[in-house]
Amino acid sequence: MRGALPLVLFLSLASSGALAAEWIDLATTASPSLEDSLRTPAMKDCELREERSLRRPDGKRVVRYRQYYRSVPVYGETVVVDDGVPSGRLLSGIDHDLPAVTPRLDGDAALARARENDGGKPARNAKSELFVYLDGSRAHLVYQVSYLIISGADKPSRPFVLVDANSGTVLKRWEGLATAPDRGIIP
């Protein structure tokens, strides 16, 4: 990780005795540097990795980070530091729910579980990626599975499914293609 960036995060929240994973909103908290925040017990085994950065016309740098827990990305959130001011959320207390990040299921098994209700239609471009996901107040190890179905007269579909990587339970499902009546797929 590159140097200490001033990210805001309550040290007291990060080191509290809370026993459930929870989001911490960086815009409403205050604490020491990023490195100090990530060393607290509630952020055990977490790190932020730079995804991309840009330099604004005024010369100030904007950096987007993704949170990882034991090298597994945290689902759905990134942290942005713009001129030293952070925004976004961090997931703390993950270790209370996930003492290990070795999934019981592999990506193919998660795909099979996700496809159980699609009528056996042929699929292509299947993807399966492992994440840490907060469902309510419990962190889960999940696969985000997606695939494309194009079959005959049926409208195309790209289901996205979050499958618990240990139990195989489907936690969330949604359609990834936006369509409009009589217009087909919306780009």
CATH topology of domain 11-97: Nuclear Transport Factor 2; Chain: A, (3.10.450)
Per-residue pLDDT tens digits for 42-78: 777 889 999 999 999 999 999 999 999 999 999 988 9
- pTM: predicted TM-score of the whole model, two decimal places: 0.80
CATH code assigned to 107-185: 3.10.450.40
What are the phi and psi torsion angles at 142 (to 5°)? -130, 160
User: What is the predicted pLDDT for the residue at 137?
Assistant: 85
Distance CA 11, CA 23 (A): 14
pLDDT tier for residue 10 given thresholds of 50, 70 and 90: very low
16 three-class SS: coil
* 36 or 102, greater pLDDT: 102
State yes or no: pLDDT of 122 exceeds 70.
yes
Per-residue pLDDT tens digits for 106-116: 999 999 999 99
pLDDT tier for residue 147 given thresholds of 50, 70 and 90: very high
Strands 61-69 and 46-55, sheet pairing = antiparallel
Residue with tokens 């599975």: 145
User: What is the predicted pLDDT for the residue at 56?
Assistant: 93
pLDDT tier for residue 183 given thresholds of 50, 70 and 90: low
pLDDT tier for residue 178 given thresholds of 50, 70 and 90: confident
State yes or no: pLDDT of 130 exceeds 80.
yes
Residue with tokens 């087909």: 184
pLDDT tier for residue 28 given thresholds of 50, 70 and 90: confident
User: What is the predicted pLDDT for the residue at 133?
Assistant: 97
Domain limits, the chain: 11-97, 107-185
Q: How many CB atoms lie within 10 A of CB 59?
A: 7
**DSSP of 143-161:** EEEEEEE--TTSPPB-EEE
User: What is the predicted pLDDT for the residue at 180?
Assistant: 62
Cα dist. 46→19, 34, 93 in Å? Answer: 16, 11, 10
Average pLDDT over residues 36-46: 72
**DSSP of 20-62:** S-EEEEGGG---S-HHHHHTSGGGTTEEEEEEEEEE-TTS-EE
